[in-house]
Amino acid sequence: MPVEKPPTQIMLVSGSLRSESVNTAVLRTICSLAPGDGLLQVYGGLGDLPHFNPDDDREGEPLASAVGELRKQLAAADGVLFCTPEYAGALPGSFKNFLDWTVGGGETYRKPVAWINASSRPDPEAAAGAHQSLRAVLGYTGATIVEEACVRVVVPRSSLVRGLVVDEALRDQLLRALVALIEHCAGEAGVD
Ligand SMILES: Cc1cc2nc3c(=O)[nH]c(=O)nc-3n(C[C@H](O)[C@H](O)[C@H](O)COP(=O)(O)O)c2cc1C
């Protein structure tokens, strides 16, 4: 009897804590476009993570529950899709804190990852500092950056309707990024 492969699970992580976040809206839109239920999981614990301290990340010692939950969700995901704003030319502190907690656990080692740069400015350099930092940090963790799934889209806050991206061309770009990441993950799962 053929063994059915489990569907690819993608964890979606917004770098913004703002309730009306454009970046979170982009990920919510991707969820609404997903080709099936249960494939996508939006991480909701960014604001619950304690400040990263190596003293609190020692092998064999208990982790804060929010950190344990983060590592459980990362371990269960086949891939991770990020969407973060830029603050003062760099990553938001709370999101960098999230990334710092991923270094010691090793859950993102060789994990396919990608990001959507959803800056509101139609400038090719918009939010470049944040995304250069994200690339560098993910490189340290040993994640596999799936270049074909990393996209830049222009999403003005005023274009959102009920917290979702409604422009068809934009929605198509978002879906293509997701599909590129899923296809990469599925391809890796098929390799012995
Ligand atoms: C404190 C602060 C610093 C910011 N710095 C930058 C910046 O350096 N570059 C940039 O392109 N946008 C910057 N912005 C604009 C945000 O990136 C923009 O508001 C973005 O939509 C926020 O994303 P969010 O809606 O998902 O929170 C900054 C915003 C804030 C609040």
pLDDT exceeding 70 applies to what percent of the chain?
94
**pLDDT on residue 181:** 96
Give 145: exposed, middle or buried? Use CB within 10 Å, 0-12, 13-18, 19+: middle
pLDDT in tens, 64-120: 999 999 999 999 999 999 999 999 999 999 999 999 999 998 999 999 999 999 998
Q: 20: Cβ–Cβ under 8 A, 6 or more apart, which residues?
A: 157, 163
- The DSSP H or E segment spanning 176 is helix 168-189
- The DSSP H or E segment spanning 103 is helix 93-105
CA–centroid distance, 17 to ligand 1, in Å, is 12
* Ligand 1 atom at minimal distance to the Cα of residue 83: 26
Residues with CB under 6 A from ligand 1: 16, 18, 21-23, 85-89, 119-120, 126-127
Q: Which of 86, 123, 155 to mutate to test the pocket of ligand 1 (most atoms within 8 A of CB)?
A: 86
